[in-house]
Amino acid sequence: MIRILESDSQEAKDFLEKLRNRGLLQDDTVLRTVNRILEDVRKNGDKSVVKYTRKFDAPRIAIKELRVTERELNKAYSQVDSDYLDAINHARTKIEQFHQKQLRNSWITAEEDGVLLGHLIRPLERVGVCVPAASQLLVSSLIMNVVPPKVAGVKEIAACIAPGPDRKIDPHMLVTAGECDIHEIYKCGGAQAVGAMAYGTDSIRKVDKIVGPGNLYVQLAKKAVYGTVDLDKLAGPSEVLVIADDSADPAYVAADLISQAEHSEDCSAILVTTSRGLAEQVRSEIELQATNLARQAEITGAFGNYGVAFVVDDLNEAVALANEIAPEHVELEVEEPLEWIGAIRNAGAIMVGPYTPESVGDYIAGPNHILPTGGAARYASPLSVDDFLKKTSVISYTRAALKKVTPSVVKLAQIEGLDGHAAAMEARFEDDRD
């Protein structure tokens, strides 16, 4: 199910080239469809949102049903068990505690000659969260997208979740929103939800920023509306890369690779190991473990497309290869994992040791699981409180301080051909020349 390649082979080099291109989110046919939907929603608002929601999700939904009522939300609580509530609140608490540590305060410093410089740090006013719920109930993604803006102090958060054919949102999704204190919930998903939040409709007011996962239609829609609103990031398929030596348990490694592969057929599950014997054991374990899991098509497809075990000479080469691939998740299942954390430069999250599977980070550890994919870990970071804060610079000069810097400002402005900038400085000291 997973191919085993020597890292210096031509096949391995070809596979690496394929991995380098995995972050290219582009499809002209899909883009044309997305642009048509967005333009329709921009012009026709709720009418178009309902039209596409009927086409893709709920054939009989009406405009008046777009917003989830408090009655529907309360009913959802009667449809989930207490263990689910306990699990959701356990996860939410841990995630909130982690994100509370990211908060920052505004600051102003006093410089010489009475100059004041600083940053005002304030939350965005309104954020839209778009989370799919068709093939998978992404309750964890709902929490991960909602907690950071809540902690940042965002006043309004609207959630768009696609309904089922019965015009209802799964109760687990509704209860999760309720436990996160989100009461503005709309029954729509896909590109039409992105358009509604970006442009605003009679039912769904425009937001300042859109966050959340989704398929290629959602990602290209987010890309198209960037500038009208801000975005979190363009999210590609999930990824895991496990670095393992011969001390690793092949059953653990196989289980962790499968846990990513089961998301979808375009996910990548990569092993980089110093032991060919371990690679062969992991391959056998994958075949054994996968037979007991429900998402066979996704697992088989993912390993067929992006499943590989690279055999390298040593851990230095393993780390170098991981940094080149820049995956969403890196797992260190080696004898001394703490010694290698600093060497991993390009990763959305690093899972350290045999008892830190990627799953614990996905659900309950606390750090956000909205991570850079497609090689974006070279320059991007996990979703955080910072993503929902805006900074405004504060500058205050006294006359004496401004006079000191005027010659430098005038010279720079003249070099740029901006005489008006220079004049704005000199105008304040015309009396000094009399």
Per-residue model confidence (pLDDT) at position 430: 87
For residue 103, what pLDDT is reported? 96
pLDDT at position 154, please? 98
Q: Which of 377, 156, 174 is nearest to 268 (CA)?
A: 377
Tokens of 299: 């697992």
pLDDT at 405 over 90: yes
DSSP 68: P
Question: Which whole number is the average pLDDT over 407-420?
Answer: 97
Per-residue model confidence (pLDDT) at position 135: 66
| Residues contacting 232, CB < 8 A, separation 6+ | 145, 209, 210, 211, 212, 370, 383, 387
The CA distances from residue 104 to 99, 284, 389, 394, in Å, are 11, 49, 9, 16
Q: How confident is the model at residue 333 (pLDDT cuts 50, 70, 90)?
A: very high
What average pLDDT does range 332-360 have in this prediction? 97
Residue 93's pLDDT is what?
98
Distance between CA atoms of residues 270 and 250, nearest Å: 13
- Torsions phi, psi for 226 (to 5 deg): -60, 130
Rounded Cα distance between 44 and 37, Å, is 10
Mean pLDDT in residue range 235-256:
96
* Mean pLDDT (the chain, rounded): 95
Active site residue 328: yes
pLDDT tens-digit map of 7-59: 999 999 999 999 888 877 778 999 999 999 999 999 999 999 999 999 999 99
For 330, the enclosing helix (H) or strand (E) is: strand 329-333
Record the tokens describing residue 236, joined without a space.
């590609």
pLDDT at 107: 97
394 phi, psi to nearest 5 deg: -120, 125
336 is catalytic: no
- Model pLDDT, residue 391: 96
pLDDT at 340 over 70: yes
Distance CA 96, CA 144 (A): 9
Q: Residue 320: pLDDT above 60?
A: yes
Closest CA to 103 of 150, 145, 155: 150
The string of pLDDT tens digits covering residues 94-118 is 999 999 999 999 999 999 999 999 9
d(CA 403, CA 413): 15
Q: What is the mean pLDDT of residues 224-240?
A: 93
What is the structure's pLDDT at 416? Answer: 97
Structure-token pair, residue 36 = 């048509």
Spatial separation of the C-alpha atoms in residues 100 and 399, rounded to whole Å: 41
| Catalytic annotation, pick one of 179, 239, 285, 328 | 328
Predicted local confidence at residue 433, as pLDDT: 67
Residue with tokens 């996905």: 362
Give the model's pLDDT for residue 25. 75
Dihedral angle of Cα 360, 362, 363, 369, to the nearest 10 degrees: 130
Rounded to an integer, what distance in angstroms lies between the CA atom of residue 23 and that of residue 372?
A: 10
User: How confident is the model at residue 26, as a pLDDT?
Assistant: 79
Q: For residue 212, give both structure tokens.
A: 């959340």
Which among 316, 353, 327 has a CA at the least distance from the CA of 271? 327
- Exactly one of 239, 329, 331, 358 is catalytic; name it: 329
Of the pLDDT bands very low, low, confident and very high (cuts 50, 70, 90), residue 434 is low
pLDDT bucket at 134, cuts 50 / 70 / 90 = low
Cα–Cα dist 263/295, whole Å:
8
CA–CA gap between residue 25 and residue 217 (Å, rounded): 10
CA distance 43 to 64: 19
Is residue 65 predicted with pLDDT exceeding 70?
yes
Give the model confidence (pLDDT) of 363-375 as tens digits: 999 999 999 999 9
